[in-house]
Amino acid sequence: MTEQRAHAWGAAMIAAGGLLGVTAALWAGRPGSLWRPLVIGLTGYAATGVLVLRWGLDVYGPRGALGAVALAAFTPCVLAALAAPPLVSPAGGTTLLGGFAQLAAAYALMRCLLDPAFQWALVAGVAIATVPVGAFLHGSPVAPLAGLAVFSLLLVVARTLTAERLEARARVAQASAVSVGLAWAVAGAIVLVVAAASHLPSAGEYSDATRPAAPAGLGADIIAVADAASTDVAPSAPARAAGLSSLPLAALLLAFARPWRRQRRYTDIGWLAALCCFGVPLWVAWGEPGGVFMSPVAALLAGACWDKSRPKWARRAAALVVGVQVAVAVLLWPHYPGGVRPDAWLPMPGIAALSRGETP
């Protein structure tokens, strides 16, 4: 299979998964005046799929890349974040965007450490600065940023330990540390510039019960949606506990059964570090949204199951697992984990008026 055909098949898979999520969202009765979360979520979903395809092609070739894309595109918890309206999952769209930002930061950092270049450090810095967008409705953005910080340090260690024989480890460690520091400096500069030019409230003020009343109009209704979702609709702390339905089970199963090759040791260590630093901790803390962050990295790890060196029966078994996941994603439509239901909008303040086109 050529890379051109792999691109075509990968685009088809991403489009098919996006169609499932978008139609499920429309089935839930999303009002036209609040279409932006759907567009944001679809953008993050598609961008993540494209990056998984590109990275998988670099590491595995066409077959492994397509297997990873299929796992990432049809993960039920990812489709749930895309399908759930803001009332049920107010940060669904931004979670997908934040997941893409984390994956892009990991990709840029790993590439930058392999071939130190300012453009990769710049891309990584922009992605790091975007990561908190996916966190502000779930809690403090400190959690994903702390995970990325630990991941960055582990990546420097991994790059140093996996240096080739002709590379001086001291120089590799120095170049890696400088690249990571430059990326975080770019992210810090972006945050400072945005903070200086913005009049938006701080992250702590979003959850401040004493904040002043929002202006009338659509902004008030959006805030009412977030407030209602955090009080009347959002489950209590025990109910938010992470369950198996919020995990990318097929990708994790294949990642556990994958072969490990010495020539991929740096990439494999980097992906494992990403999974452990910001996939698993966010799943434990947030439940289903954490599964969204975990899914693309687990899918990339699982792509090794289609190595040519593996026996044919093992590759067919991996394809069967992917087929089962696709079938589950189709059969679950439109009731993906996350509580999508056709009457979700009407009981909440301000939403019924918006859905009828009335002015509050």
Boundaries of every domain in the chain: 3-236+243-355
Cα–Cα distance measured from residue 69 to residue 21, given in angstroms and rounded to the nearest whole number: 16
Predicted confidence at residue 2, as pLDDT, reads: 81
Q: Which one-letter DSSP state was computed for residue 232?
A: I
In Å, what is the CA distance from 318 to each residue of 180, 189, 274, 311? 35, 44, 23, 11
Predicted confidence at residue 191, as pLDDT, reads: 81
Percent composition of the chain: helix, strand, coil (DSSP 3-state, to 5) = 75, 0, 25
Per-residue pLDDT of the chain (360 residues; tens, 9 = 90+): 788 888 999 999 999 999 998 888 887 665 555 677 778 888 889 999 999 999 999 999 999 999 999 999 998 888 888 876 544 444 556 778 888 888 998 999 998 888 878 888 898 888 888 887 766 555 566 777 888 889 999 999 998 888 888 888 888 888 889 888 998 898 889 888 877 776 655 545 544 444 444 444 444 443 444 444 334 333 333 334 446 667 888 999 999 988 888 888 899 999 999 998 887 887 777 766 778 888 899 999 999 999 988 899 999 999 999 999 999 999 988 877 654 344 333 333 333 333 344 444
Alpha helices in 60-88 (DSSP H): 62-73, 76-83
Find how far residue 262's CA is from the centre of its chain. 28
Cα–Cα distance measured from residue 207 to residue 137, given in angstroms and rounded to the nearest whole number: 9
Cα–Cα distance measured from residue 49 to residue 52, given in angstroms and rounded to the nearest whole number: 5
Predicted confidence at residue 23, as pLDDT, reads: 86
